Amino acid sequence: MARLLPFSARGQLLKGLCASGLLLLCSGALSAQQYDLLIKNGHVLDPGSEIDGVLDVAVKGDAIAEIALNIPADQAKKTIDATGLYVTPGLVDLHAHVFGYSGWLWPDDTQLLTGTTTVVDCGGSGWRTFETFKKTVIDRSKTRVLAFLNVVGAGMVGTESDIKDMDAEKLAAKIKEYPGLIVGIKCAHYGRPDYINLEQAVKAGNIAGVPIIVDNSILSNTDRDTKTKLLEYFRPGDIHTHMFNDRHLEIIDRFSGKIQPYMYEAREKGRLLDVGHGAGSFVWPNAAKIMKQGFYPDTISTDLHNSSIFTTKADMPNVMSKMMALGMSLKEAVFRSTARPAQVISKYPEIGSLAKGRTADIAVLELQDGYFGFADSWGKKQTATRRLHAVMTVRAGELVLDEKGLGFPEWDTAGDYQRIE
């Protein structure tokens, strides 16, 4: 059963609509079937646009045509009743693997199935392999696929500690060649005891004007520590992923359990923290202590690959559910999975918004009540009584997932039987 939330905060909703110029009080004067798709009666939750209430969303072609109260069903070619469901911007996964790594997954088969319409490949390609990535995956996917380019020219199939294959000039040149597709630089899986990969990534980031996203361990043989990494090497807007494992960032003091003072300083200075759940980067006791102190991730992401899709079930709705099990509100979870990641890669409101005129990327989510077990990287679970589940995905106006058949007509027994004969 879907959880039916009261239509609260109507004042806030109307304020948001007016501010966005979206309020349509009378839609009767418009011509018949002018919309291709109409999602009616859903609880529209678009925190970036301050929209939070029961509304109808109309789509024409590949764009959001209208968000309003009571858009008549006869104005659309296809109408879907989303009563009891949440309608949000298509989810944005800032960290997943869709190229150049042995465990990469085809984005349409994985992301679109979970309400996720934009995925950023996190370092699979480098400046020497990006063209292949574009030709074989980006251009062939319905999912909007963007890229963090690896600091290593060969990408993840190369050795990510190979400093000879790090060329900041060539990396920056490739980023400038594809400003719509390449949104930043990834440096990760670095085995040397220094910061050379970070230095090269920052150098290229400064030339191209993009952020870096970092996976960078602080184990005792690395000669690295959290404070130096975040405060001396990172710039405002740079992102550290895998924030909830216990070997990339020392967010909490291991003895007192309190957030380290330098983490507050890092946050004040604009350093960003991403979930990057994966198979190995989410540990319940660590996450629980961090979340309990209100130290929430800036962005929710999956690090989805051929292992994490099974072992920890790290898809977007499931990772959002885990955040909610640790105290994050649904609205905050949606914000950190839509508008916020889009802002971080300078793509908001082009992405992550349901505002009129934007590309019609939409997720329809069910907040299920029940008894659910959520696994972590240590093979432990936390149980919870709520879970988010994607029942519908619209990508650029096309209804690509309709798990419940909400957009299908009922079958006509007599008519269908006659057709078979």
Residues that bind Zn ion in the complex, under the rule CB under 5 A: 122, 303
| Dist CA 299 CA 235 (whole Å) | 17
Q: Please say whether the beta carbons of 82 and 40 come within 8 A.
A: yes
Q: How far is the CB of 283 from Zn ion (least distance, A)?
A: 16
Would you state the torsion angle of the CA atoms of residues 105, 111, 113, 114, taken in this order, to the nearest 10 degrees?
130
In three-state secondary structure terms, 124 is: coil
- How far lies 244's CA from each of 206, 213, 265, 341, 377, in Å? 28, 15, 18, 18, 10
Nearer to Zn ion, 123 or 349 (CB): 123
Q: How far is the CB of 243 from Zn ion (least distance, A)?
A: 13
Parallel, antiparallel, or unpaired for β 63-68 and 51-60? antiparallel
Residues 6+ apart with CB under 8 A from 306: 102, 103, 104, 105
In three-state secondary structure terms, 246 is: coil
Q: How far is the CB of 162 from Zn ion (least distance, A)?
A: 18
Q: How far is the CB of 302 from Zn ion (least distance, A)?
A: 9
> Which residue, judged by CB position, is nearest to Zn ion in the bound state?
303
**H/E run at residue 261:** helix 261-268
Nearer to Zn ion, 122 or 392 (CB): 122
Nearer to Zn ion, 188 or 259 (CB): 188
Nearer to Zn ion, 66 or 303 (CB): 303
Nearer to Zn ion, 46 or 303 (CB): 303
Q: How far is the CB of 62 from Zn ion (least distance, A)?
A: 30
Nearer to Zn ion, 20 or 302 (CB): 302
* Closest among 125, 14, 112 to 361, alpha carbons compared: 112
Bridge partners (DSSP) listed for residue 374 = 382
- At which residue do the structure tokens 């099974």 appear? 310
Nearer to Zn ion, 55 or 187 (CB): 187
Q: How far is the CB of 120 from Zn ion (least distance, A)?
A: 11
Bridge partners (DSSP) listed for residue 89 = 362
Q: How far is the CB of 97 from Zn ion (least distance, A)?
A: 6
